[in-house]
A and B are shown apart, each in its own frame.
Chain A
């Protein structure tokens, strides 16, 4: 492990930076809540009319429903109620389903995170591997192939890529299912929300649990690969350039001069430092994953956050949009804070820059 000594001075600096960031985060979230609240209300059509249809309801019934949902109050009042609730952790109930927004969010988030976390893991493992191979064979054909692959993946329109994957693996070869999270034959009770885990937790014979797990895994394969494509490319490029930079440093030359095997030099000395910026990039990929998830979930009918929010826009489900978007923003902002702190902690250079 890299050993770090924190002087009182640098602790102070971190504390100041963190409190400043927290203030900025608070302002950003305030902004997000305002944007989400007012933007969705600018969309023509309101949830009540969409729900009961243009005809078939008396004006009194519509007025009563609006009053019950609090939509008859002034916009400012509505926002005040929303903001006050959000601070207390209460995001209201969905107009369409009548269930608490926070609860629905968690359910959907579990589905999206199972997809996203696996995609990020795949992207990191393959991306770092590809980057290392490219850096070690710099300028030769293996490097060229790896980097051509990376720029192609980076440019991939993933909605088309997903369709292509379906054409090839589901339609032509019939290896993998087209959509959904698991085959309809299995009724897995959701506990963690991650089907791969819940399959083992359910009370059934071992053979059935294995079969359910296998089905869930097969359903995950294509969406995970599609979602991992762009992050994989970014991580591969970052790993390559970072490793190339580090290989030129004095301590790597020293390690080589000591007669260490190339494997030890790369694995023990170079890679550890080269991966610092990669950690940052992996963290920042979260936004890419969330955006990609909206398209991926649409293609593979994955019941996650993206589809939930998009259908809420279509049905003008105000509480779901304003609450859901706020929670997504909380996740994005928190991750970028954690990533900043992490890179500050790992990287001696960043700490030193603060000192001078």
Chain B
């Protein structure tokens, strides 16, 4: 199961990186007279288009490959932004304690009390719909989770004796937190990183699906789904394929996250 998950992630990463060389056509190239062709093996399929074509005659294989690039990099960007800000804020909260910690925690509670998709929708409406802004919106909604995990981990680690001895040897706050405490909080941070990547891909796709992410003719998977929504009856495969890609990526990431959690920290297994 874990190997399959790794292979799947590797496969999609390969598609994402080598996309332009692997794709048979350009993602935006349209072909005359071949609209909504089914994949090979179905009636009316065309050997030139293995997974068929969409409503304006673009090759599905090329678009899904382009989508892998957009969706995976969007997920990666969400993770990087939310992790770096989340770890920073969480570490400050956990280390400082006192009123600063309270203020930060109340702020995070505030963000968590808003339904995350709604928050993302408002942020995107402010900034205007685009892939970049969808990434920013998805990052904003996933920061509170990271902050809570990192704060809790730092708050536990800082009471341990090694933290005290680091201080006794004259290390400053920054040095103690970054060099001594954070490396010991790596287990929950790594797990959060993995699961956050899956959430990032999912949320960007959800915004794309709602018409608030990447704009058509972009081949981001969620946007492709939104484009194909109208053809649910006449060309269901246009809806099936991008969704299957999203599911495959998120499923693999979650399986990896689970096994990472089991390996790194048996205590976390329950959550």
Chain A interface (Cβ within 8 Å of chain B)? Answer: 24, 27-29, 31-32, 35-36, 39-40, 42-44, 148, 151-152, 154-157, 159-161, 163-164, 166-167, 171, 238, 241-242, 245, 277, 287, 290-291, 294-295, 298, 306, 309-310, 313-314, 321, 325, 328-329, 332-333
Q: In the complex, which residues of chain B have a beta carbon less than 8 angstroms from the beta carbon of A245?
A: 270
For A40, the chain B residues whose CB sits under 8 A away are 122
Q: Which 4 A-B pairs have the closest CB atoms?
A: A160-B243, A31-B110, A329-B113, A155-B251
Determine whether the beta carbon of A28 is less than 8 Å from that of B110. yes
Contacts A151-B258, A313-B121 given; does A157 touch B202 at CB 8 Å: yes
Q: Are B254 and A31 in contact (CB under 8 A)?
A: no
Complex: how many Å from CA A171 to CA B236? 10
| Across-interface contacts of A329 in B (CB, < 8 A) | 113-114
A42 to B123, alpha carbons, bound, how many Å? 9
CA–CA, A120 and B246, complex, Å: 25
The answer to whether A333 touches B232, judged by C-beta atoms less than 8 angstroms apart, is no
Name B215-268 residues within 8 Å CB distance of A.
Answer: 222, 225, 229, 232-233, 236, 239-240, 242-243, 246-247, 250-251, 253-255, 258
| Cβ–Cβ contact A277 & B118, under 8 A | no
Q: Find chain B residues with CB under 8 A from A314 CB.
A: 125
- Does A155 lie within 8 Å of B247, measured CB to CB? yes
B209: interface (CB < 8 Å): yes
> Do B115 and A290 touch across chains, with their CB atoms under 8 A apart?
yes
Please state if B115 and A291 are interface contacts (CB–CB under 8 Å): yes
Whether B269 is near chain A, meaning CB under 8 Å from some CB there, is yes
Pick 26 A–B contacts, CB within 8 A, sort by A.
A27-B109, A29-B113, A31-B110, A35-B110, A44-B126, A151-B251, A151-B254, A151-B255, A157-B206, A159-B210, A159-B225, A163-B225, A163-B229, A163-B239, A167-B232, A171-B232, A241-B270, A242-B270, A291-B116, A291-B118, A325-B114, A328-B115, A328-B118, A329-B114, A332-B112, A333-B113
Tell me the smallest distance from the CB of A60 to a CB of chain B, in Å: 29
The answer for the CA separation of A39 and B120 in the assembled complex, in Å, is 11
Please give me the residue from chain A that is nearest to B229 by CB atom. Answer: A163
CB pair A291 B239 closer than 8 Å: no
Q: What 16 new A-B contacts, CB under 8 Å, besides A157-B243, A161-B243, A294-B117?
A: A31-B106, A35-B114, A151-B251, A155-B247, A156-B247, A159-B206, A159-B225, A160-B242, A167-B232, A277-B270, A287-B112, A291-B115, A291-B116, A291-B118, A295-B206, A328-B118
**A290: B residues at CB distance < 8 A:** 115
How far apart are the CA atoms of A277 and B114 in the complex, in Å? Answer: 24
State whether A167 touches B239 (Cβ < 8 A): yes
B107 at the interface (CB under 8 A from A): yes
Is B1 an interface residue when CB atoms closer than 8 A count as contact?
Answer: yes
Chain B residue numbers with a CB within 8 Å of A298 are 210
A residues less than 8 Å from B125 (CB atoms): 43, 313-314
Bound Cα distance A40, B119 (Å) = 10
Q: Are B115 and A287 in contact (CB under 8 A)?
A: yes
B198 beta carbon closer than 8 Å to chain A: yes
Report the minimal beta-carbon distance from B209 to chain A, rounded to whole angstroms: 5
- A277 to chain B minimum Cβ distance, whole angstroms, is 7
CB distance from B110 to the nearest CB of A (A): 3
* Distance to closest chain A CB from B137 (angstroms): 12
Q: Is B181 an interface residue (CB 8 A)?
A: no
Flag if B126 contacts A325 (CB, 8 Å): no
Please, which residues of chain B bring their CB within 8 A of the CB of A325? Answer: 114, 118
A328 to chain B, nearest CB (A): 6
Chain B residues whose C-beta falls within 8 Å of the C-beta of A35 in the assembled complex: 110-111, 114
Chain B residue at smallest Cβ distance from A25: B109
Q: Does B78 contact A (CB under 8 A)?
A: no
Report the minimum CB–CB distance from B132 to chain A (whole Å). 17
Interface string of B188-214 (1 = CB under 8 A from A): 000000000010001001100110000
A119 to chain B, nearest CB (A): 15
CB pair A295 B232 closer than 8 Å: no
A287 CB contacts on chain B under 8 angstroms: 112, 115
In angstroms, Cα B119 to Cα A328, docked, is 12
Q: Looking across the interface, which residue of chain B has its beta carbon closest to that of A242? A: B270
Q: Shortest distance in angstroms between A34's beta carbon and chain B's nearest beta carbon?
A: 8
Cross-chain contact A152 with B239 (CB below 8 angstroms): no
In the complex, the answer to whether A157 meets B113 with C-beta atoms within 8 Å is no
A-side contacts of B253, CB under 8 Å: 155
**Alpha-carbon distance between A36 and B126 when the two chains are bound, in angstroms:** 13
Knowing A171-B232, A287-B115, A294-B117, the reply to whether A148 touches B1 (Cβ < 8 A) is yes
Asked whether, in the complex, the Cβ of B225 is within 8 Å of the Cβ of A155, the reply is no
Roughly how many angstroms separate A238 CA and B269 CA in the complex, as a whole number?
Answer: 10
